[in-house]
Amino acid sequence: MAKGRIRPAKLAEAIANHLETLILEGSLRPGDRLLAERDLAQKLDVSRPSLREALDLLQSRGLLEGRKGGTYVAPVLGEGFGATLVALLHGRPQSTYDYLEFRGFVEGAAAYFAALRASEVDRELIHKHFTAIEAAHGKLSPADEADADASFHLAVYEASHNLMMLHVMGSLADMLREDVFYNREKLYARKGVRDLLLEQHRAVHDAVMRGDPEAARAAAEAHVTFTRSALFEIDKADSDLETSLRRLVATEGDRDEGIKHAG
Amino acid sequence: MPAKTSSRRQAEPVTPLHPPVPLAALLKSHPESAFDYLEFRLIVAGMAARMAAERATEEDRVHLTKAYEAMVAADPGIDPAQETDGDAEFHLTIYAATHNVVMEHIMRSIFALLRRDVFYERSRLYRREGVREVLMRQHKAIYEAIMNRNAEAARIAAEKHIQYTREALQESRVADERQGVAMRRAGRDSLAQVTDRDP
């Protein structure tokens, strides 16, 4: 506007902008593999050379990456974001509690905004993922329920309609799926925990669905606080077990030493 | 062709040391996302200031004082970047004093985008009439509340700071638009023969 110059937008530029917007709003997610060039060109109703140029443009901006014969949406916060966090957690396992402290607060805000802003489509999606959690609840293996759990939270971030929230919390949710922060199966396997988590998800779901921001915030915060204390208890039980095991190994070792000396 | 080269140059920040961060490119081409950033920051900043007031060690307090004094001493007349960098460093020192390494990492990553002037033209915001003084007063309030270990005051001061930044940015954006309109009106004789209806 300011320059007052009018130029027809190049088709490749327009395609690139379109895809860029889809990535920004989360309609295309990091790790998604784009359709093959020919199919994508057909879908977008553009020529292949223009599409190829647009894809090159997006690759040069770091938004797409070509690997294993496909074109993938790149991690939005950059390769370094996840890698650094993983290294951090490796060096200092108690950072898991830092993650949950941070998340508890932000999760509350996300649920608050979701209750305030969710459109009909958002509500349907949140409801769908919650129904999936319920359906997986009866299964012996907690894997499906844990997956539906992650999708449910992502749908809440989307419904918050804050792009920063979506990308930051979405990146963390992806890492959660890979058990970077803690072992989800172990959490679910804990007696009673799985039932309580279901009820907490229901509380978040209900509050968002009826558009009650304060209740949604409280439910989401309570959910993360609970997860934190449950993990703490599991860790403690594990370390008690480890101590006992170490003691056992130590006495075994002494015996070995004794045998060696005797020999 | 020339249009494409120039827009490409704009899309790529000058950071030869780092690979491009996709989100940086995205946010740059969608200026309205600055308000999503500030909303997100509002959530985190209040909590961080409260935690820093509660948890800062002696060492953190020394760092915070150093960062605060460097920011206040920065002379925008010599180097405007020095002032905005000092501002960022001050806030990062607060995140470090929360002793939550995950939060610190996340906010550090986001600030790295901010330093590349992705979100808003920080130094321009500073140059707006009166804005600098208000921001500095707010920094002082945050700093003092943390040093006094007053968690609630620190939270309130930090939230006020972000809310004000949001309003100032909105004003600045609207002012830019008005400026554009005024300039086009002033230049109307460059596109058409001006026919004044005045007698």
| Chain A residues whose beta carbon lies within 8 Å of the beta carbon of residue B11 | 61
Q: Do B102 and A88 touch (CB under 8 A)?
A: yes
List, for residues B155-168, the tens digit of each pLDDT value: 999 999 999 999 98
| A171/B18: higher pLDDT | A171
Tokens of B63: 């760092």
The CATH code belonging to domain A79-246 is 1.20.120.530
CA distance A44 to A37: 10
A21 contacts in chain B (CB < 8 Å)? 30
Kindly state whether residue B196 falls inside one of the protein's structural domains. no
| CATH classification of the domain holding B49 | 1.20.120.530
**Is B62 inside any structural domain?**
yes
Amino acid identity, residue A77? L
Which residues of chain A does CATH 1.20.120.530 include? 79-246
Answer for the pair A76, A171: CB distance below 8 angstroms, yes or no. yes
Closest-CA residue of chain B to A102: B103
Which of A85-99, A129-143, B60-74, B157-171 is predicted with the least confidence, judged by mean pLDDT? Answer: A85-99
Say which range, A4-8, A32-36, A145-149, has the weakest mean pLDDT: A4-8
Alpha carbon distance B45, B138 (integer Å): 13
Q: Do A101 and B103 touch (CB under 8 A)?
A: yes
Residue-wise pLDDT for A171-223, tens only, equals 888 888 888 788 888 888 887 899 999 999 999 999 999 999 999 999 999 99
According to CATH, where is 1.10.10.10 located in chain A?
11-73
Flag whether B79 is in a domain: yes
From residue B68, alpha-carbon distances to A140, B64, B109, B136 in Å are 56, 6, 21, 10
Interface contacts A/B by beta carbons within 8 Å: 104
C-alpha to C-alpha distance for A233 and A187, rounded to whole angstroms: 10
Answer whether residue B143 is part of any domain.
Answer: yes
Range of the domain at B128: 32-171
Q: How far is A90 from chain B (nearest CA, A)?
A: 12
Per residue in A158-185, is it b (16+ CB within 10 Å) or e — as a string?
bbbbbbbbbbbbbbbbbbbeeebbbebe
CB < 8 Å to B103, chain A: 98, 101-102
Test B23 with A80 for CB contact under 8 angstroms.
no
Could you tell me the pTM of the whole model?
Answer: 0.83
Residue B61 covered by a domain: yes
Asked if residue B14 is part of any domain, the answer here is no
Please determine, looking at this structure, whether the domain spanning A11-73 carries the CATH number 1.10.10.10.
yes
The answer to whether residue B178 is domain-embedded is: no
pLDDT in tens, A27-39: 898 889 999 999 9
Total domains in chain B come to 1
